[in-house]
Structure 1
Amino acid sequence: MSELHHECGVAAIYHLPGTPRSPLCPSHGPSEASRLIPRMLLDIQNRGQLSAGMTSYDPDRDELLATHRDLGSVTEAFRLSHRGKAEALMTRYAGPAAIGHVRYATCGKDDLSYAQPFESPHIKRRKWFSFAFNGQLANFAELRDRLLREADHHIVRATDTEVLMHEIGREMSGDLRPTLLEIMRNIAKRIDGAYSLALVNALGEMIVARDPMGIKPVSYAFDGAMFAAASESVALLNLGFDSHQILSLAPGEAVTVTPEGLSVDRFAESPRRAHCFFEWIYFANVASTLDDRSVYLARKSLGEELAALEDLPIDADTIVVPVPDTSKCAADAMAFKLGVPSVEGLMRNRYAGRTFIEGGAGRLAKAAAKYTPLREVLEGKRVLLVEDSIVRSTTMRVLIEKLRYVGGAKEIHVRVACPPIVAPCFYGIDMSTVGELFAPPFIARHGSDVGGDAAGATFAEMAAELGADSLRYLPIASIARAINRPSGELCQACITGDYPTPCGQQLYEIALGSGSPEAGGQRTYEAVRG
C-alpha cells in the first residue's frame, strides 16, 4: 500500500571502551563502530525514505559529536554506491558510538533542515547532545505554545522534534546536572504521544528510550562489548546478534550506556500498553519480531482470518493476487486455506518513485506507473485481490482499473487484511485528518456499526465506488487474534476512534469537526493551538 507511510526509524550502536573487540565490530576496530549505522538503517529503510543521517561520538576528535544528514534514501545519503565517497564519510564520522535515523515526514517540510538526528551544540560537554526521534507528540501544540509564551524563546521548524530538543535542553539549563535517565523521567511527565528516542552526548553517554505505552517499537541487544538498538529487530539480527540476545525494550524503560557500562531502567510508569497494531500488519519488516510476536506469523494469521470470511464460490477460475509487497504473507495464507493458487498478477516497479511524497494528481500518476498487471495470469480469472489496508483509496482505484482493462480479469473481489480505517493517527502515521480517509463517509451513511446487514450495504457501496465486484474487510476482533495480544494492549485508534492518550482523543474531536482533508493547508496535528 504505497499511500500510507510511517514517520521514521532510529538506530544506535556503542562499542564499550576497554572491552575485547566484538565479533560484530567492523574490521576497522571498535573506534569505528559507527560504520555499522548505515547497514542498520538499510534494514529499517521501510520506515522512511525522505532523509537519512547519523551522529557519531569520538573522544579523540576535536568535534566530539559530528552529524551527517542528507535527503534521499540511505544509499543516497551515505553515498553507498560510490566506494570512495562512502569511505570518506565513514572516516570523517568514525567513532565508537553513534545514532542514526531514517525519516518520512508526517509534519514539517521536506527539506534538509528537518532531517535527523538533531544536534544541539554547547560549550559544556554535558549540554552538547544529538538525538533521533520516531513518533509524534499529540500535545505538540501545547508544548510549542508554552515555549513561545516564555521570554526569548523561538522555534524555527514546524516539527515536534525541535520542540522535544528544546524540552531536553531545558532540563539541563543553568547549573542543573541531571542524568540522561532523569531527563527522560522529567520530560515524560509533560509528553502525550508516541516515541522512541536515541540520544548521545559529548560525554559519551547514550540513552535509548521507549514511550510508556509502547506505541512505537524498540529492540536492543548486548554481547558484552557491543550494544545496539533499532526500531526493528531485523537490524540487529543482520548485524550478527543471536535471536536470543535481541530483546524488546519494555514500555517506559530506557537503556543507558556510558563508557563504564550499561543499565536498563524504568523512567516512566506504564499504566497500560498500546502497541501500534499497524506495525504488524504493514509497517515493520516481515523479518522482524516485535514484542515477542513475529511480523510474518501475524500477517499469516490475518490471511487465515480472511479465508474464514470468504463467501464466494471457489472454482477453477479463482486466484488470489496480493498487492505487492506487504500483502503477500496474508494472501498466501488465505489462498492455502481456500485451496486456490496465490499468484503474482501484479508486478511492482520499485524504481518508479516514492508516491507518498506526491499529492493529488501526482500521487495518482505515480500509483499508475508503479504496478503492471500480467494479462497472462489474470485474463478471464475471478481475482481475490488482497490488500493490507485501504486508507485514501488512490492506489486501489488505479489497481482495479488496470486489473480489469489491462489484465483482463473477469471479476475483482477486494479483500482487506484490516478493518476499515475510520479515524486519523496522531502518533506518527501519515493520516491526520478524517477528510482524507476513504471509509468514514460510507460508514456514516449506513450507521457506525459495520456488522450484520449494515456491513453488507456499506461494503457494497464501497466496492461500487472503487470499481470492484465486491469488498470485504476483517472485523476488529481479528487483529488481536492475529497479533496474539489482548486488544487492550494494542493501539487501534484508527479503526475504533478510541485513543490511548487524552490529547489523541482531543485531536480526534477536532478532526471530526474540521471535515476537510487539509484545513488551511495544515494537518490537524499542526493546525491546533494549545
Structure 2
Amino acid sequence: MSELNHECGIVAVYQYGQADQCPISSNHTRNQVSRMVPRMLLDIQNRGQLAAGMTTFKPRDKELLLTHKRLGLVSEAFRMSRKNKYQDLMERHSGPAAIGHVRYATCGKDDPNNAQPFERAHLEKRKWFAFGFNGQLANYAELRNEITSGGDFHLARETDTETLMHLISQVLSVRPDIKMRELLSAISIRLDGAYNIAYLNARGDMFVSRDPQGFRPLCYADRDGFFAAASESVALTNLGFDTSGIRDLPPGSAVTIQDGVLRVEEYSRAAVRSHCFFEWIYFANVCSRLDGQSVYLTRKTLGEELAKQETESKENAIVVPVPDTAKAAAEGMAFEMSIPCLEGLMRHRALGRTFIESEDRDAKARMKYIPLPEVLEGKKVFLVDDTIVRSTTMKVLVEQIRTRGKAAEVHVRVACPPIMAPCFYGIDMPDVGDLFAPRFTDGSIELTREMEEEMARHFNADSLRYLPISSISKAVNTDATNLCQACLTGEYPTQAGQRLYDLSLNAQESCSEDGGSRRLVEGTDSPVLPPSTI
C-alpha cells in the first residue's frame, strides 16, 4: 500500500477537427498527433520520474485503445535514445487522440503494472476506457472498504487510481450511455481530495477534468480543431501554442470531446478553492504559469520577502541557492539586498531529489551537492532553500559548506514557512513525527526567534530564518482562502484530510508514549497508516 505517495502529471491531445494536417505541427497528420505525447511528458518530467506511459485511440485497428507504459524516465520508457525503436513505437501508437502520464512514487514495488494510464478493456466500446490520474484521494481507505465489502470485488493493486477505475466502471455498468459530464458528477460526490483526470474511451470520447477544489493545476489550448491539455502550461507553449491561447481549466470543470464537438462544462462546484501553494514553490516547472501566476515570479517574490526581513550584516556576504528550485528565490533575495548571488553549490545531475528517498538518505545527501571553495571560502553565506522537510539535506549542506567550502559563516534562509503537517492530496510529505519543524515548535505554527535559534544550532548554522505564512498568498498573488496551506497550518480543506491528520497526531502521541511507531488506518484497526500519510 505505497502507491498513493506520488505527485504525477497528465497530458492529452486530440485532433477532433477534420483537417488532414495538424495546425500545430506540419510534421504530423491527423492520425499522428499522438506522437506529441512523449514530447509533452518530457516537459512535465519534473512531476514524475518513476514511470511514464500513454494510451492512443486507434479507430482503424482491432485494438481500439493501445497502451504503452514502462518504468523509468520518459526517454527510457519510450526508448528515445534508440531512434529506430522509438520510431517503431510511435508508428504503432499513431492515432488522432492520446493521453499520457508521468508517475512519481516514493516507495513500494517498482512494478510496471502500477504505471499509468490504467486501461480497462471491454467488449462494449463505451465501457472500454483508459485514464491517467494526478492527485490523491484522502478518503481512499473508506472507498476501498466500500468496494471490497460490496459483493465479489477485489482490488489487485490497492491504489487510489485503481479505486477510481472501479468507481468509473460501476457508473458505466449502470448507465452505459451516460454523458461524460454526468459521469464526472456521479463519481465526484464520492471523492474527497485531489483528482485531475485525463480519460479516453474506445469510441474516441475524451475528457480532461479538474477536481472541484482545484488542488492540482491543469490547463488546455485549442486551435483549429486541435486540442491539447497538460498539468503545466510549459508543455503547451513548447507545442507551439501562444501564451494568450492557453487557459487554466476552472476547478470542477472538464473539457469534453465527443462526436467531434469540444465543450468546457462544469460538473461540480465546491464552496472553496484549494490550490496547493507547494506547486508554485517547489514542484512545478519554473517556466510554467499556474492559474495565471508565473512560477518563476512567485519564487522570485519569495526571495524578496526573505530580504525584507533580513537583519544580518551584508558585509562580505553572498547568496547561494540550493539547486535547482531555490535559484529564483535566491536571485530575488540577492537583488533586493544588492549582494552577489553565486552558485557555490553544484548539483550532482545523476541523483534525484532526496526528500522523497528513504534509503541511505544521509549518504545520498552528501553525494547530491558539491561545494565550490573558490566561491565560498571566507564568505558570509546566505544559503537559500525552497523548503526544509526532514532536514537531512540541510544539515549535510551546512557541514559541507563549512568544511569543504571553507565559508566563514552560514546563515540558512528558507523561502517557505515551516512544514508542520503531512499532505493527503498528492504531494509526498512525511508523517508529523518525521518532519523537522514540529520538533521545535510545540505545536505552534508561529515561530519565535528562540525556536529559529534552536533550529540553527541543530544545523550548526549561524542563524536560520523562515518566511511567515502571510508571504505565501502575497507571492502567489492569491487570497489565502483560495489556497491549500494545510501542510503549514494543519487546517485541511476537506473532511477526510482533517480526519487523517487527526489520526496522524494520535499516532504520534501513541508513538511518544509507547516508544514505538504505532500507526492507524482510518476506519480499520490496522497498525499501519494508509500510504497517503507515509
TM-score bracket, shorter-length normalisation = over 0.9
Aligned to 2:342: 343
Q: Does 1:398 align with 2:396?
A: yes
1:314 Cα deviation (Å)? 1.1
Find the counterpart in structure 1 of residue 192 from structure 2: 192
- What's the secondary structure of 1:123's corresponding residue? coil
Give runs of aligned pairs for residues 447-462 of structure 1, distance below 5 A: 448-451=444-447, 455-462=448-455
Mean Cα deviation higher: 391-400 or 196-205: 391-400
In 2, Cα distance between equivalents of 1:107 and 1:9:
18
Shift of 1:78: 0.5
- Tell me the residue number matched to 2:382: 384
The alignment status of 1:504 with 2:497, answered yes or no, reads yes
Matches within 5 A, 1:258-407: 258-315=258-315, 317-353=316-352, 355=354, 358-361=357-360, 363-407=361-405
Provide the C-alpha distance between the structure 1 equivalents of 2:60 and 2:267, rounded to a whole number of angstroms.
31
Equivalent in the alignment of 2:475: 482
| Whole-angstrom distance in 1 between the partners of 2:498 and 2:481 | 16
Name the residue aligned to 1:146.
Answer: 146
**SS in structure 1 at match of 2:434:** coil
Paired residue for 1:70? 70
Identity %: 55
Q: Secondary structure at the match of 2:432?
A: coil
Q: Which amino acid aligns with 1:450?
A: E
Matched, 1:524 2:523: no
* 2:80 maps to 1:80: yes
Pairs aligned (count): 517
| 1:430 partner letter | D
Measured in 2, the distance between the counterparts of 1:356 and 1:482 equals 24
Is the 1:491–1:500 contact (alpha carbons within 8 Å) kept by the matching residues of 2? yes
Q: Distance in 1 between matches of 2:253 and 2:518?
A: 36
**2:113 aligned counterpart, secondary structure:** helix
Q: TM-score, normalised by structure 1?
A: 0.95
CA distance in 1, matches of 2:286, 2:76: 24
Equivalent residue for 1:237?
A: 237
1:31 aligns with 2:24: no
Contact residue 22 and residue 28 of structure 2 kept, 8 A: no
**Contact persistence 1:138–1:525 (CA under 8 A):** no
SS of 2:105's partner is: coil
Q: What corresponds to 1:98 in structure 2?
A: 98
Q: Distance in 2 between matches of 1:13 and 1:309?
A: 46
Unaligned runs of 5+ in 1: none
Q: Distance in 2 between matches of 1:212 and 1:33?
A: 30
Q: Look up the equivalent residue of 1:331 and give its one-letter code.
A: A
Instruction: Name the CA shift for 1:412/1:479 in 2 (closer, same or farther; >3 Å).
Output: same
Q: For residue 446 of structure 2, what is the amino acid of its counterpart?
A: V
> Structure 1 357/273 Cα, relative in aligned 2: closer, same or farther at 3 Å?
closer
1:425-464 aligned within 5 A: 425-444=423-442, 448-451=444-447, 455-464=448-457
Q: Secondary structure at the match of 1:471?
A: strand
In the alignment, the residues of structure 1 paired with residue 475 and residue 175 of structure 2 have an alpha-carbon distance, to the nearest angstrom, of: 51
Please give the alpha-carbon distance, in whole angstroms, between the structure 1 residues aligned to 2:532 and 2:428. 15
Report the secondary structure of 1:173's partner residue: helix
* Higher mean displacement: 519-528 or 131-140: 519-528
Cα 1:115–1:149 change in 2 (3 A) is same
Which residue of 1 is the match for residue 222 of structure 2?
222
Structure 2 length normalisation: TM-score? 0.94
Q: 2: CA distance between counterparts of 1:20 and 1:28?
A: 9
Asked if structure 2 preserves the Cα contact closer than 8 Å seen for 1:108 and 1:158, the reply is no
Per the alignment, residue 414 of structure 2 pairs with 416
- Amino acid of the residue matched to residue 264 of structure 2? V
Superimposed CA distance per residue, residues 420-456 of structure 1 (whole angstroms, 9 cap, x where no aligned partner): 0000000001114111111111011xx61524xxx11
Whether 1:491 and 2:517 are equivalent positions in the alignment is no
CA, structure 1 residues 16+184, in 2 after alignment: closer, same or farther (shift >3 Å)? same
- Shift in alpha-carbon separation, 1:518–1:126, aligned structure 2, 3 A: farther
Deviation at 1:6, TM superposition (A): 5.2
What is the CA-CA distance between 1:356 and the residue it aligns to? 5.3
Structure 1 residues 449 and 214 mapped into 2: Cα distance closer, same or farther (>3 Å)? closer
CA displacement at 1:22 relative to structure 2: 2.7
Q: Deviations over 1:50-75 (max 9, x none)?
A: 00000000101110000000000000
- Name the structure 1 match of 2:514: none
Instruction: Tell me by how many angstroms 1:182 deviates.
Output: 1.0
469 and 360 in structure 1: CA distance in 2 versus 1, 3 angstrom threshold: farther
Residues 163-216 of structure 1: per-residue CA shift (max 9 Å, x gap):
000000001114542122111110000000011110000000000000101011
Matches of 1:108 and 1:143, distance apart in 2:
21
Aligned residue identity for 1:426: F
**Matched residue SS, 2:530:** helix
Query: Structure 2 regions of 5+ residues with no counterpart?
Result: 512-516, 521-525
Asked whether the equivalents of residues 58 and 64 of structure 1 are also in contact (C-alpha less than 8 Å), the reply is yes
Deviations 1:104-145 (A, max 9, x none): 125763321110000000010000000000000000000000
Cα deviation, residue 359, structure 1:
1.5
- SS of alignment partner, residue 433 of structure 2: coil
Quick one: distance in 1 between partners of 2:158 and 2:240? Answer: 39
The alignment partner of 1:524 has SS state of: coil
Determine if contact 1:46/1:285 at 8 Å carries over to the other structure: yes
Rounded to whole Å, the distance in 2 between the matches of 1:237 and 1:468 is 42
